Structure 1
Amino acid sequence: MNWTRRLRLRHLQLLVSLAETGSLSDTAKLAHTTQPGLSKWLKELEEDAGAELFERHARGLRPTAQGEVLLSHVRRLLSEMERAQSNLDALREGFAPNVAIGTSPASAPSLVPDAILYYLGRHPRAHVSLQESTMNVLLDRLE
């Protein structure tokens, strides 16, 4: 079985905490778990991954090169999870996106109406504003 399938969100947070604190005992306290349990979990994870993820020193833990690679992925995953939660919260609270479209007179009658209808079909609460002008004017208005 692929070791990544057994990882849970809590495990990802533990890895980041270990890297940030550099301490099994500090991370265990923050996670409301025991230091021996956390140490055992980390050892099993390293065995499953086939890589030493942290160097152990008298001063604490430091991520290895392999650990840094994994941590970069873990941080992105956690960031995406936070973004997903934020998006879900916004939808639950009735968030309606604002979309501003700038178009040239040549595209306005042929392409834009269908694109707006398609978008509104997928996002019925959205507010769409349309500005038709030359590209020089539209580029100046870009934010």
Structure 2
Amino acid sequence: MTGASPLAGRVEVLPGHGEFGTAARFTVDPAETVLPGHYPNFPIFPGVCLVECTHQGARATAPDGAKGAALAAVESTRFTGPVFPGDRVDIAMTWKRTPADEWQCRAKLSTARGAAATVRLRFTRRPAEGAAA
């Protein structure tokens, strides 16, 4: 993967769940570099890291038409439960093609305690604004 990521650990891809259903997981190592300072003495895995887990899982599991597509937008996020050091985050993703011929990945993230977040990402094959075609 290119670019910077706040994650020190790896997102693990799991066996697929049908043509447009995919899954991944991430275990929050207590040594993750983002934890110190994010609520000192009560570390919580930052929401932006859950978005990044989804992004990495999505890129690794994209359906054929979406492979190589670029992240165009974080359409929505909702954080519904805390994620702590040592937690395993399960990421269930579904994909659909949009009317604009882009791809949308909808993800539900959970831990053993229940729901942690929902994330919706949009991917495009179009060049970014200002990029040379």
TM-score of the two chains, using structure 2 as the length reference: 0.24
Of structures 1 and 2, the one scoring higher in RCO (CA 8 A, sep 6+) is 2
Q: Which has the higher strand share?
A: 2
TM-score of the two chains, using structure 1 as the length reference: 0.23
Q: Which has the higher helix share?
A: 1
